[in-house]
Amino acid sequence: MRKSTRDSFRLLAVASTMGLAMVISTVLGLALGYVLDHYVFHTEPVLTLVFLVLGIIGGFRNLYILTKRIQRMEKEAE
């Protein structure tokens, strides 16, 4: 396989994980907050909202890291 084709597939693989990384971070934050709220501390919406926001922030952090990785890979491909 040619180097350019291999690099294109590598970029596609990294880019395709972006949406998945955002969704997983958000859902994990929401689930952790829900469990802590309902089964541990009984503070109904508070921890769910806090961990939901933390999950969203973590998702955007993952997007930022993946974007930097794609930029680095494109720069190396040139």
Question: What is the pLDDT confidence band of residue 44, given thresholds at 50, 70 and 90?
Answer: confident
pLDDT at 13: 81
pLDDT at 41 over 90: yes
pTM: 0.81
pLDDT at 18: 85
And the tokens for 30?
């929401």
Query: Within 13 Å and on the Cβ side, how many CA atoms surround 57?
Result: 6
Is the dihedral angle over the CA atoms 67, 23, 46, 39 positive or is it negative?
negative
User: Which residues are within 8 A (CB) of 39 and not within 5 positions of it... i.e. 6 or more apart?
Assistant: none
